[in-house]
């Protein structure tokens, strides 16, 4: 499931909804990204996106994760609009029978969201405003997924 929204999310509610009454899920991995204030430099973060296109692109990458790993369920919630330090930005949940698949799928989804998802981020603070690009370390993390998936042990 994919949601792109301005409203905040409740992690506990989202996990409970994902799991529901299912008993085949053995692992749920969560990643919550928040706006961080880097030593007083960031007063706000503005996230922009193209409605419709963004959801379609996120759905494609979610389907790729499901093709790579045996997931029972997944959820991506990504916020847009004006956010302040401490506000939630993104939630990724992955559920599988075993933890390895859930961890790897969550990492894969986050590496995509950090580098290639169609969102544009602008940080604003005392020193002015700037559009944020993916860091080299984020691109390197994303690049590892272009290699063939290792065989399951």
**Which pLDDT tens digits describe the chain residue by residue (153 residues)?**
999 999 999 999 999 999 999 999 999 999 999 998 877 788 999 999 999 999 999 999 999 999 999 999 999 999 999 999 999 999 999 999 999 999 999 999 999 998 888 999 999 988 888 888 766 676 666 677 775 555 554
Q: What is the pLDDT of residue 97?
A: 96
Residue 2 near residue 59, CB atoms below 8 Å: yes
- Domain with 133 in it: what CATH number? 3.90.1170.40
Look-up: residue for tokens 């409970």?
A: 16
Which is nearest to 104 in space by CA: 63, 72, 149?
149
| Tally of domains in the chain | 1
Task: Flag whether 153 is in a domain.
Answer: no
Task: Flag whether 29 is in a domain.
Answer: yes
Task: Flag whether 124 is in a domain.
Answer: yes
Tokens of 53: 């296109």
Residue 30 near residue 102, CB atoms below 8 Å: no
Other beta carbons less than 10 A from residue 94's beta carbon: 31
Task: Flag whether 32 is in a domain.
Answer: yes
Instruction: Specify the 3-state DSSP secondary structure of 95.
Output: strand
Other beta carbons less than 10 A from residue 134's beta carbon: 16
Q: Which domain covers residue 130, as residue numbers?
A: 2-146
Task: Flag whether 152 is in a domain.
Answer: no
Task: Flag whether 23 is in a domain.
Answer: yes
Task: Flag whether 33 is in a domain.
Answer: yes
> What does DSSP say about strands 71-79 and 2-5: parallel, antiparallel, or unpaired?
parallel
Residue 35 near residue 42, CB atoms below 8 Å: yes
Other beta carbons less than 10 A from residue 87's beta carbon: 14
CA distance 4 to 118: 11
Other beta carbons less than 10 A from residue 66's beta carbon: 15
Task: Flag whether 151 is in a domain.
Answer: no
Distance from chain centroid for Cα 57: 13
């Amino acid at each position: 499931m994919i949601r792109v929204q301005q409203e905040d999310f409740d992690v506990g509610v989202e996990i409970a909804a994902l799991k529901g009454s299912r008993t085949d899920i053995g692992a749920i991995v969560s990643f919550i990204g928040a706006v961080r204030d880097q030593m007083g430099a960031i007063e706000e973060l503005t996230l922009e996106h193209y409605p419709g296109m963004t959801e379609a692109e996120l759905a494609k990458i979610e389907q790729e994760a499901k093709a790579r790993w045996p997931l029972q369920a997944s959820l991506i919630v990504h916020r847009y609009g004006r956010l302040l330090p401490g506000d939630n930005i993104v939630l990724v949940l992955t559920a599988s029978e075993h933890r390895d698949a859930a961890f790897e799928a969550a990492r894969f989804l986050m590496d995509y969201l950090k580098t290639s998802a169609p969102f544009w981020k602008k940080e604003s603070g005392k020193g002015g405003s700037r559009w944020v690009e993916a860091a080299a370390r984020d691109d390197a993390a994303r690049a590892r997924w272009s290699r063939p998936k290792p065989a399951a042990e």
